[in-house]
Structure 1
Amino acid sequence: MDVKLDVASYIRVLKLASTPSWDEFSQISKIAGAGILLVGLLGFTIFVVMSFLPA
């Protein structure tokens, strides 16, 4: 494990990283929110189906 090489890689990545614009952040938030809602709806649907099926 070469610590100097790892730290240099991390610093290089941080120098390339930039803060997203408001439009980019908004779009990413909408997509992530839609994904969370979709997974929640799928889980709720499975729960409802399983609760009505006979055991």
Structure 2
Amino acid sequence: MQFVEAQGAKIPAIGLGTWELSGNECARVVEQALRLGYRHIDTAQIYDNEREVGEG
């Protein structure tokens, strides 16, 4: 896995964006991404999908 460094943190270079994902679709996509090996899930409070990301 490739990483980028930012302010001393190593962050996986490939991540899953969750902007515009919501509801069951969001939870399902996040769950599948984690099963496939993703470890960087891009989310923000403004997306208003924290619950669904957590369920995934």
TM-score by length of 1: 0.29
Name the structure, 1 or 2, with higher relative contact order (CA <8 Å, separation 6+).
2
More strand by share: 2
